[in-house]
Amino acid sequence: MKVALTNYTGGRSNWGCRATSIGLVEFLQSECLSRDTRLDTVALPVAHELDRLHEACHGKRLRTIYSSRRPSEADLDLLEHLTRERFGAYFDVVRDADVVFFQGEGTVGPGNYLQNVRLFGLPFLASRRWKKPVISLNQTIYAADGSDRKVLASIFSGFDLVAVREAASFVFATEMGLSDRLVCCPDMAFRNVRPAAGHSVSIPDRDYFCVTGSAALKKLDEGMIVRAVDEIARVTGLAPVIVHSRKQDREVLETQLAPMLSVGAGEMPDHHELVSILAGAKFVFGGRYHTAVSALSQTTPVILLPGNTFKSEGIADLIGLDFRVFAPSESSAMAKAALDLAVRQEEVRAAIAVGLRRIADMQADFATLVRERLAGGHVDVSRYPSLRPVVRWTDRHRFDSIYAKVNRHRRRLVFFGGAALARLRRSPDFRESTDRTFFDLP
């Protein structure tokens, strides 16, 4: 059997991308697929001028195609043409596979993806035109508005199985009408995370906590975040250590929190080394979802800020502890929570360990479900109660405006888009430049 995994991010420098995608491949190979199965990965490519011009020339029609439960043959012809052009040889990898896994990760949300083929082209064709089993997994599902939500509901309704990675998305996808194929399987960055024996950077010789950025950092009050870190350090007596693998986090945190110790992916690319630093921290503060997941995998508590979707809010119900998401202005409340975590370390870590065992059981049940589907069986998600959790999701709409601003479709002004697309196609390095987007990863 040949299996293709689309939207793979394990080749990126970002710690979270590596942890979740590498963890997913290990999970599929060890728990779901037979030894003679061939698994090919297709990277989520870096944005290219072709994506912008596809959107300018065909974006409205692509959105209509994605919105249709039964797209016409002419529509599928266009989608196939554009997807082949964008993915080159990887188009054939997916078309020739017996089963397609689509890893949505954190990308399912920005409206621009609904008007090009970079994210949804391959899995949509696999389900609608090539009639292949498509299993969508390891993802948050979010929409900035009701219109985007309807398009996503149409896309995901064509997949055999939809597995979201946290509790907030489970509620959201249920309300989209996906209940008959929907389960919740916790993020693969939780799974069997082995910290490195050591790490290549120096850390304080006293107790410390880690500080991360946020995928919504530009929409938050950076000054308030800095003051919150200062307040937490003052109240707890702990040394702050900045951990970052995104440029915007480094630019803000290193500048405004200097001269605090800073650790980046450039000098420490192995995410297992990051895990060893997180494991030694008293807690982790910030809005990076995957850094929080990696910390919790080591029973290290978290104090959360908003990210680019409600995915951070979705963590608490998986672990079974009320790790609320704070607004940057709540510095006093965050300092109080930090002091509480510093004092009750053993108690809180023991409670997290209980949650991790439940997460491991959910992932084991999900592996059974996937094996059942791959064996040709009918997927009845109601027979897996552990994968259909009861969700509290407190403070549900508190940060909706932030998430909508980050993910709202941004119209890109292009003059004479058809002529520009034709020129791009004629350029001598056209194929080479698009192929590089699968290898020259950020």
What's the rounded Cα separation, in Å, for the pair 185 and 194? Answer: 20
Q: For residue 162, what are the CA distances in angstroms to 176, 380, 386?
A: 12, 12, 15
Strand, coil or helix: what is 41? strand
| CB-count exposure of residue 414 (10 Å: 0-12, 13-18, 19+) | middle
**Which 8-state DSSP code applies to residue 255?**
H
What's the rounded Cα separation, in Å, for the pair 146 and 69? Answer: 17
Supply 365's token pair. Answer: 């049940």
Which positions of the chain have pLDDT values less than 70? 192, 196-200, 254-260
What's the rounded Cα separation, in Å, for the pair 300 and 244? Answer: 17
What's the predicted TM-score (pTM) here?
A: 0.94
For residues 215 and 14, the answer to whether their CB atoms sit within 8 Å is no
For residues 190 and 170, the answer to whether their CB atoms sit within 8 Å is no
Strand, coil or helix: what is 68? coil
Looking at residue 196, its pLDDT comes to: 65
Supply 165's token pair. Answer: 């990675």
Contacting residues for 276 by C-beta, under 8 A, at least 6 apart: 195, 196, 197, 198, 199
What's the rounded Cα separation, in Å, for the pair 162 and 166? Answer: 12
Beta strands 38-43; 2-8: pairing state: parallel
